[in-house]
Amino acid sequence: MPVDEAEALAGGASGERTGRNPGRADAGAETDTAYGAQPKSERDRLMSRVVERDNMQLAYSRVMKNRGAPGIDGMRCEDLKAWLKVNWPQAKRALLDGAYRPQPVRRVDLPKPQGGVRTLGVPTVVDRLIQQALHQAMQPLFEPIFSQSSYGFRPGRSAQQAVSKAAEYIRGGKRWVVDMDLEKFFDRVNHDVLMARVARQVQDKTVLSLIRRFVQAGMMANGVETPRYEGTPQGGPLSPLLSNILLTDLDRELEARNLSFCRYADDCNIYVSSQRAGRRIMEGVKEFLANRLKLTVNESKSAVERPWKRKFLGYSVTAQQASKIRIAKQSIQRLMDAVRQLSIEGKGSSLPQTIEKLNPVLRGWMNYFSLTQSRRPIEELDAWVRRRLRCLVWRQWKRPKTRESRMLALGLDAQRAWKSSVNGRGPWWNAGAKHMIAALPPKFFNQLGLVSLVATHQHLQRSA
């Protein structure tokens, strides 16, 4: 391949098509595809389409947009362009010849809100590029066979659509949910079972061999590489597509039983009319998963229960007959934890600087939870965020004399400013007291540009 083709790959993607549906989970590949559906006779030449210039340029733009941490080789996204100019001709030849060997992934353990850890496998930037190119070439082959009830990591589909459909089932009378949690799904995928399902649509043996090498690539932690005999750790662009390919068998089984369900990656809820039916279905699906897909249901996290007692993709519903969509309590608590952490980190920063860091968190959270039909929790959150910031300001003022002078400057009369500054109460109490609300009212924070969850939600509702 001429060197100028490698330069075009590295340098010609800056203006390429980019974009991410904000409602989709963003840990994974971009799902826009470079090709339409391909006839079966062309699938034997899939690797040629993987390394085609347009597909690789699109993959490059996706990787550069998503950024991400380096893999085990330490190469940053910023270094990829220079690497491609020198090494892409050899890498392309190795891919076409079936000689390419992925590097081990770097292990990263992230704590889960409910306890335990989620293990990510971070590929090198070059391997991420190749996985993204594979994803784009393969998705048109599999998209036509995916279920309409599958919403995760697919073009034009989102978590919000899954939640809306779930609420529709509940309002339609299916007021019991079979909430299934697959035990360590991404860590337990059987490679042979997975590859058999990939091979149903992919006949190119070079591509099949490369995918197997990716899923079997070792995992490195503290300089020690551990062989991988099962699982497809999250962290690479190919992992979400492979999870959908594997779980399509589950979708087809549920459809054959004429069940109402919503699946987002490995998160699957089935909606039924009675507890008895739910328990029967739970047992049948557990048996299917164990026998057909070699997967296990986590008994402690799965249940047949009323949907308003469970959460789905961070949402829940109210118990009324016309069930309203609401934000799950755990999701509200996670936002509060994030705001609390940012306010702690803001002790040495000015209030505008803290608000600048806080705004993207608030805006992103409200964008995701725009479907909520319960206004009171977000009103209470708005008030709580302002109180956290008042608490931060009270701590920063430190001395009674400083507090008195600042409250005077903010419009309190002298007697009230003095009495408030020496009341002996703690920062949190003062942050919710009338004198601090008068000194730092909601209008004050609006002028500093603090994102209002209520105003953001109203805007999203109007533009929906």
pLDDT digits (tens, 9 = 90+) for 395-409: 999 999 999 999 999
Q: What is the CA radius of gyration of the chain?
A: 26
The pTM is what? 0.86
The pLDDT, as a whole number, for residue 148 is 97
If one compares 324 and 5, the residue with the highest pLDDT of the two is 324
What is the rounded CA–CA span in Å between residue 218 and residue 225?
6
Contact 327, 314 (CB under 8 A): yes
Going 54 to 57 to 63 to 65, the CA torsion angle's sign is negative
What is the rounded CA–CA span in Å between residue 393 and residue 390?
5
What is the rounded CA–CA span in Å between residue 34 and residue 208?
20
H-helix segments, 125-190:
125-142, 159-171, 185-188
The pLDDT, as a whole number, for residue 5 is 57
What is the rounded CA–CA span in Å between residue 49 and residue 92?
11
Judged by DSSP in three states, 219 sits in: strand
Least confident of 111-125, 146-160, 228-242: 111-125
Contact 420, 434 (CB under 8 A): no
Least confident of 238-242, 352-356, 439-443, 460-464: 460-464
Mean pLDDT on 128-139: 97
Q: How confident is the model at residue 44 (pLDDT cuts 50, 70, 90)?
A: low
Q: How confident is the model at residue 287 (pLDDT cuts 50, 70, 90)?
A: very high
Q: What is the pLDDT of residues 186-212, one digit of tens each?
A: 888 999 999 999 999 999 999 999 999
Least confident of 111-120, 144-153, 440-449, 453-462: 111-120
Q: How confident is the model at residue 19 (pLDDT cuts 50, 70, 90)?
A: very low
Above pLDDT 90, what percent of the chain? 78
User: Given a cut of 60, is residue 16 above it in pLDDT?
Assistant: no
Q: How confident is the model at residue 152 (pLDDT cuts 50, 70, 90)?
A: very high
Q: How confident is the model at residue 9 (pLDDT cuts 50, 70, 90)?
A: low
Judged by DSSP in three states, 371 sits in: coil
User: Given a cut of 80, is residue 13 above it in pLDDT?
Assistant: no
Question: 417-421: long-range contacts (C-beta < 8 A, 24 or more apart)?
Answer: none
User: Given a cut of 80, is residue 28 above it in pLDDT?
Assistant: no
Above pLDDT 70, what percent of the chain? 90
Parallel, antiparallel, or unpaired for β 219-221 and 105-111?
parallel
Given the structure tokens 């509200």, which residue do they identify? 332
Mean pLDDT on 323-346: 94
Residue 161: CA count within 13 A, CB half-sphere:
18
Helices (H) and strands (E) in the chain, counts: 20, 10
Contact 235, 108 (CB under 8 A): yes
The pLDDT, as a whole number, for residue 49 is 96
Q: What is the pLDDT of residues 264-275, one digit of tens each?
A: 999 999 999 999
User: Given a cut of 50, is residue 435 above it in pLDDT?
Assistant: yes
What is the rounded CA–CA span in Å between residue 362 and residue 318?
24
H/E segment holding residue 320:
none
Contact 372, 459 (CB under 8 A): no
User: Given a cut of 60, is residue 41 above it in pLDDT?
Assistant: no
The pLDDT, as a whole number, for residue 226 is 87
Instruction: Give the contacts of 293 (CB within 8 A, at least 6 positions apart).
Output: 190, 193, 246, 247, 249, 250
Structure token pair of residue 42: 């062309």
User: For the chain, what is the mean pLDDT?
Assistant: 90
Contact 191, 207 (CB under 8 A): no
What is the rounded CA–CA span in Å between residue 314 and residue 158?
13
Q: What is the pLDDT of residues 226-246, one digit of tens each?
A: 888 888 878 899 999 999 999
User: Given a cut of 50, is residue 34 above it in pLDDT?
Assistant: no
The pLDDT, as a whole number, for residue 463 is 87
Contact 392, 430 (CB under 8 A): no
